[in-house]
Amino acid sequence: MYYSLTGNNRKIAELLAKELSADIEEVKTVETLDLKNGLSMAKLALGAWLGKTPVIREASHKPSEYELLILGAPVWAGKLSSPMKAYMLENSATFPEKTALYVCCGGPKGDAAVDEMKKYSGKTPAATIVIREEKVKTGSYEANALEFASQLKKQ
Ligand SMILES: Cc1cc2nc3c(=O)[nH]c(=O)nc-3n(C[C@H](O)[C@H](O)[C@H](O)COP(=O)(O)O)c2cc1C
């Protein structure tokens, strides 16, 4: 499961799904969040910073039917982006024992969002990774994402 507003986390999720032959699904908000439609980054950031969560659609895949659940999302205002927070709060009771977590962020401080994800999942993840947005833009994220996938294959 991933959330992506501007496409970076989607790219990582698609690569991981291909590498691991996994099902993939995006967390969808009921109200469309679109930076082109008058919604400002500041409003999203403030909401995340205040810990608010949007209403999300029910996902079609059930985590409990899987051996491994990978969760990936952007960092907003230094925190886990709110749609993924909403998904995790609503679904963590059904998560399998084996989870893996990633965040993609613009700046150097993604670890706090990974820590939030650990807290919401209530589990020790099998693997975690923080990928900088610039690596997605240049394509060099692929090596990091494939290393993350290879760690998961070994376990
Ligand atoms: C509302 C908003 C707030 C953001 N706040 C941060 C931040 O505090 N720290 C950071 O490193 N990146 C921040 N970013 C950058 C995103 O984490 C980064 O662009 C990420 O790759 C976006 O993932 P996506 O393309 O999957 O949506 C922010 C982006 C948005 C839209």
Rounded CA separation 96/56 (Å): 21
- CA end-to-end distance (rounded Å), the chain: 20
Q: Which residues pair with 71 in a beta bridge?
A: 101
Ligand 1, closest atom to CA 6? 25
Percent above pLDDT 90 for the chain: 88
How much distance in Å is there from the Cα of 98 to the middle of ligand 1? 26
Q: Which residues line ligand 1 (CB under 6 A)?
A: 4-9, 41, 44-45, 74-78, 104-107, 109, 133
Strands (E), 4-122: 68-76, 79-80, 98-105
Contact 76, 89 (CB under 8 A): no
Give the mean model confidence (pLDDT) for residues 11-31. 97
Q: What angle do CA 28, 29, 32 make, to 5 degrees?
A: 110
pLDDT in tens, 103-150: 999 999 999 999 999 999 999 999 999 999 999 999 999 999 999 999
Closest CA to 9 of 113, 92, 98, 97: 113
How much distance in Å is there from the Cα of 93 to the middle of ligand 1? 27
User: Which pLDDT value is given to residue 38?
Assistant: 67
How much distance in Å is there from the Cα of 58 to the middle of ligand 1? 24
Q: Residue 1 CB: number of other CB atoms within 10 A?
A: 21
pLDDT in tens, 37-78: 667 888 888 888 999 999 999 999 999 999 999 999 999 999
Residue located nearest, by CA, to atom 3 of ligand 1: 76
The architecture of the domain spanning 8-154 is 3-Layer(aba) Sandwich (3.40)
Return the C-alpha torsion angle 42, 44, 48, 51, nearest 10. 110
Residue located nearest, by CA, to atom 22 of ligand 1: 74
Strands (E), 1-155: 68-76, 79-80, 98-105, 127-132
Ligand 1, closest atom to CA 75? 17
